[in-house]
Structure 1
């Protein structure tokens, strides 16, 4: 717990504008709590947590490779969104151009993590859901579900990799590739470093 607080403090200090928003939300929470306004306190704390999610998301984007295979990152399409409710934030990056693209999304506190873990860790469920187009793979020691999808032509396929990483769900889609190519690209993503930030 102490390391999480320390990491959060470092991230907050590294981004002044957002740190001010976080500090303002925390001040509002303390003021509302002192006045006995619990609903306002809860709202202000949610605002503070959203700021932390945004900071963490932007730090994760810095860890991602600028290029995958021959596909270059479209920096203008990078996006971090703080979600309302139980879901934390969504981190999104696109490589390449429409038609030949790699799309990476990381959703913290995803409700889909439990379902994907069930498929990956239960032979019965994994077998029932197997239709010859999905298989369980390991990427950097993490179990993931790899699914073949129809591509742009009969001889080309799109692939989607879904990997639970703690309480986050990573979804990585690549157009017109082989299973080996998507796994090679996925191996360039620093999952261990990302896991440390988003936990």
Structure 2
């Protein structure tokens, strides 16, 4: 009975790996290059032609940034809390809400209250950003545009344009940010108000 359960667990690993890869829009070649395993080995593993081993599952778990238990379908045990590591940058605190490599990344951003608002120092980089103001009043500078967004408003823009985020009145601001590489944009299915858009190159 125990051997049958073990076989069932191992047989389910391949389809689980394939579903995980496809859900993230990754190719076999891309995953193989990331974790250092041949594409043919990954293909055989996903199709069930090769049984999974610890030496294969460990780099896959690291490459997909998921617990090893997720790959073998083991029940979660221990501390159920999610431990997020904040990142401080540009006078703001970013709390990552997603852990997968590549694709769109989600953050909660916190701009602390200050006695006087900071002067804008616009930056540029490749990518596309979508943001939603949770609380406070956000000052958003994009190129020549200087906007103030109250809670509940959203904006999306090409980050190759000079841009800067800060508090409009010196108070604290909290917002959600989705950031993706160039050409990857957030798709909002329904919205109360149309988001502010700023485009760079076509």
TM-score by length of 2: 0.26
TM-score by length of 1: 0.26
Structure exhibiting the larger radius of gyration computed from Cα positions? 2
More helix by proportion, 1 or 2? 1
Highest RCO, 1 vs 2 (Cα 8 Å, sep ≥ 6): 2
